[in-house]
Amino acid sequence: MSIRVGTRGSALATTQTGLVARRIETLTGQPVEIVRIRTEGDVRTGSLAQMGGTGVFVAALREALLDGRCDVAVHSLKDLPTGAAEGLTLVTPERENPRDVLCARNGWTLETLPRGAKVGTGSPRRAAQLLAVRPDLDVRDIRGNVDTRLARALGPDADLDAVVLAYAGLSRLGRLDAVSEVIDVRVMAPAPGQGALGVEVRTADLSPLSSFDLRPDGATDRPLDLADVVAGLDHLPTRLAVLAERALLARLEAGCAAPVGAHAVVEDDEIRLAAVVARLDGGQVLTHSARVALPSPAGAAGRAAAGSTSAVRSSAEAHDTAVATDALAGGLGIQVADALLAAGAADLAPLRATGPGATTDSLWAPGTAPSADTQGSDGEAPVGGTDAPVGPEQR
């Protein structure tokens, strides 16, 4: 029996899904069938914000997963709402480069673009950060797939001087030849989750078999057990980085119309998160960064080698460590978001944030999102030291 993997029908979506499908085949030894699902975002025209946000690309895929038309759904993680999807579990494979890129005529960079150059993007985040560093640019709202956008700047009938796209999408499509500049994250912070894929499965397909699943002959009526797939796809540094970024996004309650950028990295046993909230016209930008130390896995690993009894105990300890580590990542995002809110981010950009107490729950595997007691409504999340100034910077 094949495993059915649902995807949007665009060239980028099917390419990304193909990467996941091949990995699932390797993990399970089972054939994989790719199922194309048409979403509302593929049918409607207009800007993403006018259509209601990134969720327009997600709902149809989730419906197909829940009603059994597919067994796995693959999304661009930045398209996924931060709230939990009941009955689904999310896992994140290894992330591609999250940076944005400039694709410009004549090999121009942000610094060398002519004064008044026309630059296309469908993202308020990119537009605001472009204008923050180059207020003279003529930033135009555009839509369309990757080839359509590239043609606006590089095609024979080009009407723009440049477009800004994601490195990850161009890399997966083999189109990095179109890039004239990979933009530094200190100049243009990426969207939370950019470059990462979100793979969702039905939570029921991860549960241990119960007596209700078993027939009298000992066989099972449940078609799939995807626990090994979820474990095999999970990439810990990616999971922690995007947990921090998406916790920040959830705390700010920022939709796709809000110019919010975030970039987290996991290095040297710590997570570092930097975030940006900008005014839509780029006239003012708030930034804040912080870091948190991660628990060392060395103790549990050493005890696991001591014998079968301690190995069982260490397995439970490893799960507890994963849960606690996920909570640290989410707490870091909340801490940075609260610092930005305290500095006036909600007055600067179109946010719906309510500050402490905002909901950030989501379903993650094999760890969990931050628990309620790490998000508390009265105090800061329990995270470690910061490399940021006491107050967020303005630039």
DSSP assigned state of 342: H
Helix (H) or strand (E) holding 262: strand 260-267
Task: For residues 246 and 160, give the distance between their C-alpha atoms in angstroms, rounded to a whole number.
Answer: 32
DSSP assigned state of 114: P
Q: Are 191 and 82 in contact (CB under 8 A)?
A: no
Give yes or no: 79 in active site.
yes
Q: Two tokens at 362?
A: 């989501």
Burial 330-344 (b: 16+ CB within 10 A, else e): bbbbbbbbbbbbebe
Categorise residue 116: left if φ over 0, alpha if ψ from -120 to 50, beta otherwise.
Answer: left
User: Which residues have C-beta within 8 Å of that of residue 232, sequence separation ≥ 6?
Assistant: 23, 27
Backbone angles phi, psi at 292, to 5 degrees: -145, 140
Q: Are 171 and 244 in contact (CB under 8 A)?
A: no
Q: Two tokens at 224?
A: 């799939």
Q: Two tokens at 317?
A: 């300890």
Q: Two tokens at 120?
A: 């296309």
Task: For residues 334 and 378, give the distance between their C-alpha atoms in angstroms, rounded to a whole number.
Answer: 13
Q: Which residue among the candidates 42, 67, 71, 79 is catalytic per the annotation? A: 79
Task: For residues 264 and 332, give the distance between their C-alpha atoms in angstroms, rounded to a whole number.
Answer: 10
**Which residues are marked as active site?**
79
